[in-house]
Structure 1
Amino acid sequence: MTTDDAVHGHEPHANNLAGRLNWLRAGVLGANDGIVSTAGIVVGVAATTAARGPVFTAGIAGLAAGAVSMALGEYVSVSTQRDTEAALLAKERWELDNEPVAELAELADIYESKGMSRATAEQAAAEVSAKDAFAAHSESELGIDPHDLANPWQAAFSSAVSFTVGALLPLAAILLPPESWRIPVTFVTVVVALALTGAMGAYLGQSSPWRPTIRMVIGGSLAMAVTYGIGLLVGTAVG
């Protein structure tokens, strides 16, 4: 492996892998939100009525509102991140255009701080700068790949889709079974789905699956228990 490969060549691959994992984690979290929030809504409504119509209406309304909210939140968040990155990159480009010697020395300092000798660090800085100075400085100084900025539209779409997929599980679970089985089937479906998303999130984060899975299951179970209790109380009071 050459010095250039070690310092610069593999960095975009690492950044792209981290980006893909971040999108996967965001998808898992979006699906989890869809499962829990929709399950809470439909279980609460099902506690007040045996009719499928109100449950279906509430579930669809919750699904639509949640998906739009998730998409909008991700779009605003990622747009802010992208704007910040763009401003930092513009500043870095200005510095490269107006202070190239100082920027080259700064890049060599970064490589030296990672364990290279001064002579090797200066050589590496010169070589990567000759190939693509802007990318080398952006990645080393800012931790930003200028050719792979976050896409707010992609984030919004991903969040909306993952939330919708997650929300469809409790909605189907409470509408399809007979009335006497609705709550038990929904509870089991949600618990299993949350266990799977918790385990998947732990796998992506390379951690033990037990704690996040247990947290997911307990949190979702409490949410359904609370909304079911509120549905019974409100339904009784209104009725």
Structure 2
Amino acid sequence: MAGESEQSLLDQHKEKHFTAGEIVRDIIIGVSDGLTVPFALAAGLSGANASSSIILTAGIAEVAAGAISMGLGGYLAAKSEADHYMRELKREEEEIISVPDTEAAEIAEILSEYGIQPHEYSPVVNALRKNRQAWLDFMMKFELGLEKPDPRRALQSAFTIAIAYILGGFVPLVPYMLIPIARQAVVASVVVTILALLIFGFAKGYFTGNRPFRSAFETALIGAVASAAAFGLAKAVQG
């Protein structure tokens, strides 16, 4: 009856936690780089008096290369995380078998850090020792602070970052598709991209729990500084 009552309370209380943190992180990585890098490249080439067609060609090539590179980086990072988890899982499993008393003492130490007294955590320790899988899961989470990664995480991360990079990267290039004169296109590109950076920064701040308006300003500032630096360097080299 107690278990049913607790489940009923849990069903009634649905906590509204945001659980898509990894996906949002990948989108932020992809879009932020996608908006900034091609933007700076286009601005730099505009400063060198390149034509819109050349800027567009170089920009598309950069977006393609950047998406592949960023996606591969996301894949390798997620794969490395999964490999690390499996190595630690195997090591922890071996320790539970070879030195169970030591591992049990570690459970007691972990629980004591939460203010649980010996007479309170002893039944918990004994219960975990009878269930090896639960014991292993407990040690992975509370001793090592590792969560079991989703086996699809590496591919999802690569795909999400790459698509986000492409979507972000085409924003500063659209004006060059529509305006043949580069000096006019760069102005439109700056306006469109700064606006996109402001919107993206606001959304990033909103979803990550930071101050949205400050996030919007900081994101737009970083993009503006990067493009201004590229434009200025191109002008300086040309001069």
Range into which the TM-score falls when normalised by the shorter chain: 0.7 to 0.9
CA contact (8 A) 1:74 1:152 kept: yes
Q: Which residue of 1 aligns with 2:185?
A: 182
Q: Which residue of 1 aligns with 2:142?
A: 140
Q: Which residue of 1 aligns with 2:12?
A: none
Residue identity in the other structure for 2:138: A
Equivalenced residue count is 225
Q: 1:203 aligns with which of 203, 206, 210?
A: 206
Q: Which residue of 2 aligns with 1:161?
A: 163
- TM, length-normalised to structure 1: 0.81
Shift of 1:35: 0.5
Taking the TM superposition and a 5 Å limit, the aligned residue runs for 1:22-33 are 22-33=22-33
CA contact (8 A) 2:51 2:180 kept: no
Distance 1:202 1:159 in 2: 18
Unpaired runs of 5+ residues, structure 2, are: 7-14
Distance 2:120 2:75 in 1: 43
Shift of 1:92: 0.5
Unpaired runs of 5+ residues, structure 1, are: 6-13
Distance 2:149 2:158 in 1: 20
Q: 1:229 aligns with which of 205, 225, 232?
A: 232
Distance 1:147 1:227 in 2: 39
SS in 1 for 2:148: coil
Shift of 1:77: 2.5
Shift of 1:204: 2.8
> Within the alignment, does 1:62 sit opposite 2:52 as a pair?
no
Instruction: Check 1:50–1:99 CA distance in 2 against 1; reply closer, same or farther (3 A cut).
Output: closer
Q: Which residue of 2 aligns with 1:11?
A: none
Q: Which residue of 2 aligns with 1:193?
A: 196
Distance 1:35 1:101 in 2: 54
Distance 1:224 1:112 in 2: 54
Distance 1:115 1:150 in 2: 37
Instruction: Calculate the aligned-residue CA RMSD, in Å.
Output: 2.9
Shift of 1:75: 2.5
> Within the alignment, does 1:213 sit opposite 2:216 as a pair?
yes
- TM, length-normalised to structure 2: 0.81
CA contact (8 A) 1:31 1:167 kept: yes
Shift of 1:139: 0.9
CA deviations 1:170-199 (Å, max 9, x no partner) are 111332246364122211111111112222
